[in-house]
Structure 1
Amino acid sequence: MHSTDDPRVIEAVVHDVQRLPALVAMLPVAMMGAAVLTLLPLWVGTLSEGLGFTQQQVGFLASADMVGIFITSTSAVLWVRHWPWRWVVLLGLTLFLIGNVGSMYSRDFAHLYGLRVVAGLGCGAAYAVALAALGDTRNPDWSFGLMVTAQVAFGFIGFEVLPGLIEAQGLNAFFLYLNAWLILALLLSAVLFPRAGAPVRDGVALRFRDIGGLAGAAFFGTVILYIAISAVWGYMERMGVGAELASSRVSEIIGWGYLISILGSIAAPAVSQKVGRTAAMLLALVVMLCTFAGLGMMEQGNALWTYIASTVVFQFFWSFVLPPLMATFNAVDESGRFIVLCSPAFKIGEIIGPPMAAFWIVDSQYQPVLWLGGVCAVIGIGLLVLVDQRARVAT
């Protein structure tokens, strides 16, 4: 494995990563890394309407991209500091695009599942590089906050334009929307993305035996939190429809909630610096639990306003918790490689969450999904708080 202590090499690469144009290219790549999760309610809703898939098949298709992303992003810990970043990103995004094009011509469960896994393989490689690059910027807290803001903007536009397009063109509209943004990300990456990351410095390696306890807690805390988020998020559109709200109104509410949640990702770094990451994550936990309770108490007389309040506030604090979560993950080691395992942690949670939620749904009753979300959120954020406290003591 190549390593170096040559300050000229390190300085040149770090300067390349920290340029503003490089950040402009990193953000759309990181945005596309979470694209399917961002639009998961629309993806689940579209798969559930008139395509002949069972509830369990919908759950597995909802997590298929995450399987591919998990495979490549997990392996990234071995190669992310050694392979040329720009070429990995370009190849990964191209494979993602090809998987989307193929998915437009498939309505068979097994075939479509395979294509989504292939798309996820490309997505995961590009996403892992983007996370490593963002972690190398001067202020990772703010960079990750900008990443979440970009993902939120992508989601807002999607929730505003996709329902009408899906109604007119069906499932293909979903993939056309993804590919339009992928083409933009490819063009920016070809010109502006850093050619390579900083090499591993001599004596600074990722050794799990040295960081094992903190690394395991950070990883599994993130997994469990994302089981909670993806389970509730994946069926949020179905919860609104189940409360007899019009599907178009539900998509509009989710879309505006996504726009408002930009404020969460913007506020999080400042709040974390003011009161600490632990307090910021605990605040997010308490409020998320209140939103789950609200979704579980919807009745016909108050369904609309309860749904609006619960979904909007949930999305705000989902965006809010991500920057301190990722900064906590990044603080576990100094080699700059452990951060790429943040993506696999997200994806394991996203692989498990929707199928697990689907298993508990009976007669369109979603309360068990909300209980699942609440329990997992408490455990996940509890572990992350423990990591933050121990990491601060260690430093």
Structure 2
Amino acid sequence: MSGQKFRIAGAAALVIGHCAGMLDLVALPVWVGALVERFGFSPQQAGALATLFLLGAVGASIVAAPRFNGLNQKLLATLGFAIASGTFLVASTQSTFPVLAVLHLVAGLATGAALSMVHGTMGHATNPHRLFAAAGMALGLFAIILLAAIPQLLISQGGPVLFQVFGGIMAIAAVASALLFRNPVNVLQLEKTPFSRATWFTILGISVMTFNQAMVFSFVEVIGKSRGFEPGHVLAVLIALGFVNFLFPAPLAAFLQTRVSAPLITQIGPAIQAILAIIVTSATAFPIWAPAAAVFVAIQIFTHTFVFGLLAKLDPTGRAVAATPAMLMLGAALGPIVGGALGENLGFSALGVAAIVVAGASIGFFTKAKTA
């Protein structure tokens, strides 16, 4: 694929859009926590609001991705982030569940549409793998800053500040898109060409892997405390996880891009994820549990960087990578529900068993993609 060489400003707009659009994956713990503690919602209601945002993003991505090259990507990204910003700012003035439910759904739809334009445009870059890795590094730093700042702001300013921060982040992405975003040039006329079998199997493989990650990771803190580990130690592991995610997976994926086979990484990634899931859900000794928990998410980030580059090659139109929000957020929406049901009825060790089964499916899809 020839690809497009983006100037620094254009690449910066894509990276900023990636960070804003992936806000849910970064802020979900404090998001749900604030809805419970500051707004007085039950855990189920708080989870439902977050899920509505995620499902909105998935729906918008599913609709927008196949039509990617027929759209004005810059305009849709700018409008999407601007609408999400306005919606979150309105949410900061509300406190009732029905109104916040509608606002979460609208914000999700707008964010998903904008993020699909960002990821689809990344797919047209000269080196999509490296650009996605750079965006991953930025997201890791963004997560550290955000998770450090939001709890302090909630203490000093109260619940509405959560949505004010989200609105501000989306506003920055809207301005960056309006000023710096560059539409892909020389778009290939393959809009009506169906995806290859390899493309579909790769999409299924990463979607299943993302579901596995969400199913287990959503309960890392709960599992740690249920094992009798000190709450302070569990929190330290989560902080370490943030730094691990920032420092290692994306830079390592960028370094290894030309040194290892992407299809091979897609087969190894889910297997390592399953091994770590067993340790996280079963280990009773903190020195064994802590390292596995700290690197668990990094395996997903590392593998997905290779998958993004692989999909950009398999589908030069950018439609497959434009569906990245759907691949990520569908797993993020469904994983916690399934994980909660398994943990509540069969115990958290059942998550480890389920992770093996799901990882097997993911490896199977990636293997079929390799041979398709």
TM over 0.5: yes
Going from structure 1 to structure 2, the CA distance change for 1:229 and 1:373 (only over 3 Å counts) comes to same
Structure 1 residue 218 and structure 2 residue 196: aligned? no
Equivalent residue, structure 1, for 2:188: 201
> 1: distance between equivalents of 2:157 and 2:230?
20
Going from structure 1 to structure 2, the CA distance change for 1:261 and 1:127 (only over 3 Å counts) comes to same
Paired residues of 1:104 and 1:172 also in contact (CA < 8 A): yes
Structure 1 residue 62 and structure 2 residue 50: aligned? yes
Paired residues of 1:93 and 1:186 also in contact (CA < 8 A): yes
Equivalent residue, structure 2, for 1:326: 308
> 2: distance between equivalents of 1:224 and 1:316?
16
For the residue of structure 2 that corresponds to 1:334, the secondary structure is coil
For the residue of structure 1 that corresponds to 2:241, the secondary structure is helix
Equivalent residue, structure 2, for 1:314: 296
Equivalent residue, structure 1, for 2:362: 380
Structure 1 residue 368 and structure 2 residue 355: aligned? no
Equivalent residue, structure 2, for 1:228: 212
Equivalent residue, structure 2, for 1:276: 261
2:220 maps to amino acid: M
> 2: distance between equivalents of 1:165 and 1:245?
28
2:184 maps to amino acid: G
Which residue, 89, 98, 105 being the options, matches 2:77? 89
Aligned CA-pair RMSD: 2.8
Which residue, 6, 11, 22 being the options, matches 1:34? 22
Going from structure 1 to structure 2, the CA distance change for 1:258 and 1:295 (only over 3 Å counts) comes to same
Determine what percentage of the aligned residue pairs are the same residue: 19
What is the deviation of 1:345? 2.0
1:215 maps to amino acid: T
Moved more, 319-328 or 380-389: 380-389
Structure 1 residue 348 and structure 2 residue 330: aligned? yes
What is the deviation of 1:96? 1.3
Paired residues of 1:325 and 1:384 also in contact (CA < 8 A): no
Going from structure 1 to structure 2, the CA distance change for 1:205 and 1:94 (only over 3 Å counts) comes to closer
Q: Superposition pairs for residues 124-273 of structure 1, below 5 Å? A: 124-194=112-182, 196-198=183-185, 200-202=187-189, 204-208=190-194, 211-245=195-229, 250-262=234-246, 263-273=248-258
What is the deviation of 1:130? 0.6
Question: Aligned residue pairs: how many?
Answer: 370
Which residue, 331, 335, 342 being the options, matches 2:317? 335
Going from structure 1 to structure 2, the CA distance change for 1:313 and 1:356 (only over 3 Å counts) comes to same
Paired residues of 2:133 and 2:254 also in contact (CA < 8 A): yes
1:232 maps to amino acid: V
Partner deviation per Cα, 1:125-177 (whole Å, 9 max, x = no partner)? 11011101111111111011111112111112122223333344454343333
Going from structure 1 to structure 2, the CA distance change for 1:52 and 1:373 (only over 3 Å counts) comes to farther
Paired residues of 2:61 and 2:323 also in contact (CA < 8 A): yes
For the residue of structure 2 that corresponds to 1:207, the secondary structure is coil
Paired residues of 2:214 and 2:332 also in contact (CA < 8 A): yes
Partner deviation per Cα, 1:249-301 (whole Å, 9 max, x = no partner)? 544432332222231111113324212013323333233223212222343xx
Q: Structure 1 length as normaliser, TM-score?
A: 0.83
Structure 1 residue 285 and structure 2 residue 267: aligned? no
Going from structure 1 to structure 2, the CA distance change for 1:357 and 1:252 (only over 3 Å counts) comes to same
1:362 maps to amino acid: E
> 2: distance between equivalents of 1:318 and 1:219?
14
Equivalent residue, structure 2, for 1:5: none
Paired residues of 1:44 and 1:234 also in contact (CA < 8 A): no
Moved more, 70-79 or 136-145: 70-79
What is the deviation of 1:36? 0.5
Q: Which runs of 5+ in 2 are unaligned?
A: none
> 2: distance between equivalents of 1:326 and 1:118?
27
> 2: distance between equivalents of 1:326 and 1:254?
26
2:199 maps to amino acid: A
